[in-house]
Structure 1
Amino acid sequence: MEKMRRIKILDTTLRDGEQTPGCKLNTCEKVKIAKQLKALGVDIIEAGFPISSPGDFRSVEEVCKAVGNGPVVACLSRAVKKDIEVAAASLRYAEYPRIKTGIGTSPHHIKYKFNSNSEQIIERAVEAVKYAKSFVEEVQFYAEDAGRTDNDMLAQVCEAAIKAGATALSIPDTTGYCLPDDYGKKIRFLNENVNGIENVVISTHCHDDLGLATANSLAGLMNGASQVDCTINGIGERAGNAALCEIVMIIKQYKHLNLYTNINTKLLCSTSDMVSEYMGMPVQANKAIVGANAFAHSSGIHQDGIIKHRKTYEIIAPEDVGAEQSSIILTARSGRAALAYRCQKLGHHLTKDRLNTIYPLFLKKADLKKEIIDNDLMDLINGSNGNIERN
């Protein structure tokens, strides 16, 4: 049997996630989220971009103090000496510090962002990794816009970064450009063509511009990556990053992948709620795993199935992710089984004749409302339905 392979989780909610427009966090909020991420079991917390502001520098410092002898604390820098110096200073209280440094490697970045060439970009990457390595043991090199970088160029810069001392490599699909098969092949190409690649961690870092961040991350893992850069609720630049909850639960669900994480999945919903509250960023109701409707059923066919056996329409148990329970939502699409079930929950066991009497009245009221709540049901049960009004 193939040996189980542990996947490390780098959570970048406090850095890439905070780059979501309107999602600014203060230091106190960052520290509280960092403590929750430690409890959740993430391996690396990317705490910020300290050169960006004095406030972010202080936040990285305080996160380092708060998590103590726990996860690795990382922070971002560009391939600029001053950035790296400030990053190293912000990490001075970290038990396990890591500097993430890197540079754009795609033709778009090389030509339009840096007005440079491939050789100069590789030189700058090497200088940055070596300089970061002079401050900390763990250096994660990122090849920005790797998704649109030619694989040969990407292999060259990654090999140079490894020789310079990088201990981890981020392969960002910065613009969410890749298809899963292409991204997977990119990771496989690096595994097969970069000298020394077996001595470092390969991390996926996928954005969701085309809704493929989770699929691309998974494709990367299946082709040899052993770390995922992700965020709570999938927040991040533009359309966001790969969602931590999705990656973790896919790994947990599909045992045949022979992958596992150290995440305590029972804390997923509470962590999602905390980040949503502090960032003022509501989670869409239909968000996988942590959305309000993730375990809600309103179609009569689905409700009948879920009442008979949960696994007819749920592949994840709500309690496994810290959700309260499955819910039967009564709407005009609900059937008799759901109506009887909800009435029973209220302590009323309806006979077949009584159910047949109430059901048409229920449908009439349901056509006027988005959802029938318990008070509405009690009115129907008690016969207080002479005048059904729009609420």
Structure 2
Amino acid sequence: MKPWNVEICDVTLRDGEQTPGVSFTCEEKMAIASLLDETGVEVIEAGFPVVSKNEYKCVREICRMGLDAQICCLARATQGDIDAAIGCEVDLVSIFIATSDLHMRIKYRCSSDEMLERALKMVDYAHDHGIRVRFAAEDASRTDPSFLQKMYAAGADHGAEYSGFADTLGYLTPVEMMQFMKETGSKVSNKLAIHCHNDLGCATANTITAAECGAFQLHTTVNGIGERTGNARLEEVLVLLRLKGDVDRYDLTRLPELSAQVEKCSGIAMMDTKPVVGKNAFSHESGIHIAAMLDDPDTYEYLHPEMVGRERRYILGKHTGRKAIEHVIASKGCTLSPDQVHWVLCRVKQISEGKCNVTDEVLMNLLREARDQGEEA
């Protein structure tokens, strides 16, 4: 299979920071940027420099870190925003305008053609100052496709390297994203960038669907943080690119550290059941599952933990079977008789059904008790 032709633009430091209650220090932004770079992310959107002096400073400092990744920032179609991007020395500026009829009417109070004409002047201005441009449509998924095509064609004619499509409200399903790619995305003459939100839970699926249909730049955030319910999750997108798109240039073993760093800096705790980086992603309790996995992990794991720097865990609880308990007991360097193993298994189930966790400490106490009973007998 030919690998999908894609790159990642991670927007954790900009859209991710727009998560309610989240604010990164410059040091935190730089630490996250460094880990993104080590993972192999090609473009890092460092911030929105015009919003404050400190944000401007943070974006400029990241630009001067000497990373392999290209550094991007966000800008409205105004000269002040573009000047801030120029001052920060970014490689790429994302100039966006809202394009849906609703947004045009409420935010700009002018016609779409008038707004497009103003925005193209800013594309020219940035391009003339040596900055690569992504010309992006906000609320693109609710925009008249004919206007989108007109906007993207004009942006490309004015030197924009990318055309940006934002599903700002998380409005699309994967089938609808596929339809967009077929009817509009395929007609874009420059590189198409896809930016998906997760309001309906489809951000990662929509992003991967777009990639499979030919989108080039995929926007992500670490742990899926971002406005409201967040964005497409970097860790899920990278794993799907490896397993479904044959894209193997990213260092997936860095994902746990990157996820933990963003969890710490954002203060947003990771759910145990989250794919790839969640505590339970590679944890197994079912006796039926574990019995098969001891012979071949492929029976109940499509994604293996080693690929993403994780380890497999067998959890003891009410669903544990004999083969699993024997394996865990042996891994502790303990030898018990069949009757002792049966006793430990029964106690594990009793403890679990009482809503108590069978921790390593609890298990070791059970093993000692089982041995002591055997010696007394």
User: Normalising TM by the smaller chain, what interval?
Assistant: over 0.9
Q: Report the CA distance between 1:32 and its aligned residue.
A: 1.1
Q: Which letter maps to 2:219?
A: D
- Matched residues in 2 for 1:326 and 1:192: separation? 41
Q: Report the CA distance between 1:337 and its aligned residue.
A: 2.0
Q: Report the CA distance between 1:384 and its aligned residue.
A: 7.0
Q: Which letter maps to 1:125?
A: A
Return the match for 2:158 from 149, 153, 164.
164
Q: Cα RMSD over matched residues?
A: 1.8
Aligned residue number for residue 270 of structure 1: 257
Deviations 1:135-185 (A, max 9, x none): 234101110011111211111111111111100111110100011121122
Deviations 1:216-253 (A, max 9, x none): 11111122111101111111111101011111111111
Q: Is the 8 A contact 2:196 2:219 kept in 1?
A: yes
Aligned residue number for residue 183 of structure 1: 177
Q: Is the 8 A contact 1:379 1:385 kept in 2?
A: no
Return the match for 1:103 from 97, 100, 115.
97
Return the match for 1:284 from 259, 266, 271.
271
Q: Report the CA distance between 1:105 and its aligned residue.
A: 0.4
Does 2:231 match 1:241?
A: yes
Q: Which letter maps to 1:202?
A: L
Structure 1 residues 168 and 3: CA distance shift in structure 2, 3 A? same
5+ residue gaps, structure 2, are: 373-377
Return the match for 1:148 from 142, 145, 148.
142
Deviates most, 259-268 or 11-20: 259-268
Instruction: Give the match's secondary structure for 2:184.
Output: helix
TM-score, normalised to structure 1, is: 0.91
Number of residue pairs the alignment of both structures matches: 372
Q: Is the 8 A contact 2:336 2:371 kept in 1?
A: no
Instruction: Give the match's secondary structure for 1:51.
Output: helix
Q: Is the 8 A contact 2:78 2:119 kept in 1?
A: no
Deviations 1:47-80 (A, max 9, x none): 00000011110000110111x1511100000111
Q: Is the 8 A contact 2:120 2:158 kept in 1?
A: yes
Aligned residue number for residue 350 of structure 2: 364
Instruction: Give the match's secondary structure for 1:129.
Output: helix
Q: Report the CA distance between 1:3 and its aligned residue.
A: 4.1
Structure 1 residues 103 and 214: CA distance shift in structure 2, 3 A? same
Deviates most, 166-175 or 358-367: 358-367
Instruction: Give the match's secondary structure for 1:73.
Output: strand
Does 2:30 match 1:37?
A: no
Does 2:252 match 1:252?
A: no
Q: Is the 8 A contact 1:331 1:370 kept in 2?
A: no
Instruction: Give the match's secondary structure for 1:383.
Output: helix
Q: Report the CA distance between 1:268 and its aligned residue.
A: 1.0
Q: Which letter maps to 1:49?
A: F
Q: Report the CA distance between 1:334 and its aligned residue.
A: 1.7
Deviations 1:58-107 (A, max 9, x none): 000110111x151110000011111111111112xx5xx11110100011
Q: Is the 8 A contact 2:41 2:250 kept in 1?
A: yes
Deviations 1:333-380 (A, max 9, x none): 222222222111111133323222332222222222432012222222
- Matched residues in 1 for 2:8 and 2:171: separation? 22
Aligned residue number for residue 231 of structure 1: 221
Listed as ranges, the matches of 1:1-391 within 5 Å are: 3-66=2-65, 68=66, 70-91=68-89, 94=90, 97-194=91-188, 197=189, 200-254=190-244, 257=245, 259-260=246-247, 262-323=249-310, 325-383=311-369
Q: Which letter maps to 2:104?
A: I
- Matched residues in 1 for 2:265 and 2:187: separation? 44
- Matched residues in 1 for 2:46 and 2:248: separation? 20
Q: Is the 8 A contact 1:125 1:157 kept in 2?
A: no
Q: Is the 8 A contact 1:168 1:203 kept in 2?
A: yes
5+ residue gaps, structure 1, are: 387-391
Aligned residue number for residue 375 of structure 2: none
